[in-house]
Chains A and B, each alone.
Chain A
């Protein structure tokens, strides 16, 4: 495979036009940290976006930042943190999960997969923070949408389409994001020893209180070989984590109320201070528990209150679940299953559909990911619309051909 390294948007457009005239599919590469996501790349040429890098606008008091799509995410985070700001959606770093290094991803990759993290329930995902972009579609045309302002309904909201399109609508060249002040402090309460359905109940009832919890996760006991993101000195029992963030006085006040609420119900509680809390949630977000293991990894988004039952049903169906945990108050389930030829896809998807939601195969060999649909199969009418949309940006399927679906 030939790797091309354009330095300008115009270069990218020329590459696409040339590829188009030869009907040669082009794979889009940021830093390659998420190469394992989606179906395996199949193009004859790869375009490395690393050359389109650099921050062109950052105005902290306007909460806005513009940068080239190839800009390393680490550059952005460092810059923001100097001003006490951050990307509020806590984008997951896929490095650990795929056995790569941490902090390797680019801004473009982050948007293209619509990255998010535990704060998704409160602050949204990349889609909710993408204010504008420039991109090159599959016709070799440079187009843009959105802007640099917080509120904009001029024309279709193409930002939502670009976020999570895995490069199949266009090669992102420039990205404008909304940035947010970082919370002054944080701490995490851990309820010790709950079974899964009680944990879901606790998270549900806490989510109905006005304590503005910004992370709800439950970690059942992990089998040997899987490491918990929680500090090693904690009791080896299931942990239900609740995160509080904000100004110090507010966090303290909410902590007291939450402790009272939980203690009144007889729960045992542990605490993670600011730095322990930070690394706990980062580890949970990045799937560090699964790093270095052989299991196939699934990500299931479903109805929060159904989480525990869903996992029970998977076990009843004989799915070899070797480790799992819950985020988003039960709405997000990370699953590590014993490697199988079909990655247990039919059983997993059948169970997920019964509860409503979708299951994405995140980690499996290239061979498995080219056979088993990585994204949840859609009903016919929706699958048809998906295809028409894809073609509306890229009629010859030049960009990341086959990355999201065999026929796309």
Chain B
């Protein structure tokens, strides 16, 4: 595994004792973790192939503490990595040996539930699922539902702009936020939005969402909550070929239907899921679609029959409708546990996350099959079919010499393939360190420099989560330089327009 991170800065390592002492002036003694045995718990996120002990872990409890820690880091020129629950699949919260790891786990309170204005204000360490749990007795829920929702924090969801199986219809994190409180590297505390829609001018909430902890630390989040649909029903559609499954997805959307969930799995994934959860999947199918329709009873009845007919016309080998809420949950259980299920046949797996134009699905899956032969590694496919977000799960054995390197090369090939058909490197898991070095396949140097200039507006010294997202770090002063040569582009030339 070759991952080059920014060189540890000697002055930071030398000043560790002083830094720890000063951090303890800001937060209670035990909230600064500096013993190696305890630091181990923080050495990686869910991209476990990369590990690094942090310089020190700080667990602040108030926004004032966050502000002071950041101002101190700025003053002492120390790097800082924000961490929520550490479930990132791209290494977004991978620690730095010369950086403070700022753990947000103590920010775990729900601050305000406002049903009348359909929003909830929470601290960033609250888990995704806890928000829904807190409001469901009133018939509300928080829509974005990543499979990791029991564990992942809402702050991390904002950091990654996480999605879930319901985001085709209800949007990603970015479509469900109203307000943020953030702290910049200089310690300044900013309120963005509140319980109302639209930014006053620039959409900073939109920019913060998916910024992978590179722009500021999120200390409060106001999310929108939705009324639970009156009813929901799911269909399990089996197909003899992947192409037939992909065509069916296109036909459903072409018919003007946006299902609450529209997911697909290939045979390897669906059998693994069925073994893991015993969810009644058609084990002989080459492709399985889980399609959930929600809304009023009459609407769902109507759509269930339309979608079943589309599936029938598209040559489905099996069509099964959920007959109860329990059965609907059972249909989903396999899909939602697909990662651990594939993990069980692994022994290890690497999860890719490219998004492609949906009409390229057949071609891309065919190519993945060829790559799978070439590398001699199996690949199970799970995807958010409605929006073309694929999760090829590459199976390998970390204990086998060279297997992991092969998996990494296989993964990179899949991502390059995604980009070459008009897709993108990552649909919801983030760039982190994992896809950092592939950014050039999607962006020109000009594109990347413009993004880094945005970073400079927030964090001119590159102290916040450096080494993530961008393949090369440019100094802000260098990025800001203008190459205007007076007279070289004389104004009189313009009139030809």
Contacts and interface: CB of A to CB of B under 8 A. Distances in A.
B4 interface: no
Contacts of A19: 491
Q: How large is the interface on B (under 10, 10 to 19, 20 to 34, 35 or more residues)?
A: 35 or more
Contact of B190 (A5, A381, A392): A381
Given A17-B489, A62-B359, A127 B210 contact: no
A403 to B, nearest CB: 11
Contact of B297 (A139, A253, A378, A395): A253
A11 B190 contact: no
14 contacts: A61-B358, A114-B203, A153-B160, A160-B207, A208-B118, A210-B296, A212-B229, A253-B298, A303-B117, A328-B197, A360-B200, A376-B201, A388-B458, A389-B202
B190 A382 contact: yes
A21 B202 contact: no
Contacts of A64: 357
Contact of A143 (B429, B446, B455, B482): B446
B424 A61 contact: no
A361 to B, nearest CB: 12
Given A149-B355, A385-B457, A250 B302 contact: yes
A161 B215 CA distance: 14
Interface stretch (A117-125, A190-198, A274-282, A314-322): A117-125
A180 B196 contact: no
A253 B254 contact: no
Contacts of B303: 247
B258 A181 contact: yes
A313 interface: no
Given A149-B357, A149-B427, A151-B163, A404 B201 contact: yes
- If over half of A's interface residues share one DSSP class (helix, strand or loop), that class is named, otherwise mixed; here it is mixed
B172 A151 contact: yes
Contacts of B192: 382
Interface residues of A, number: 103
Interface stretch (B75-83, B148-156, B320-328, B381-389): B381-389
A165 B199 CA distance: 10
A357 interface: yes
B226 to A, nearest CB: 9
Interface in B416-449: 422-431, 435, 439, 442-444, 446-448
A121 B197 contact: yes
A158 B210 CA distance: 10
Nearest to A257: B296
Contacts of A395: 480, 482
Nearest to B441: A154
The 3 A-B residue pairs with the shortest CB-CB distance in the complex, in nearest-first order: A160-B206, A250-B299, A181-B256
A42 interface: no
B24 interface: no
A136 B315 CA distance: 48
Given A121-B197, A151-B388, A247-B302, A157 B450 contact: no
Nearest to B438: A154
B114 to A, nearest CB: 8
B454 interface: yes
B75 to A, nearest CB: 18
A179 B497 CA distance: 34
Interface string A121-133: 1001101100000
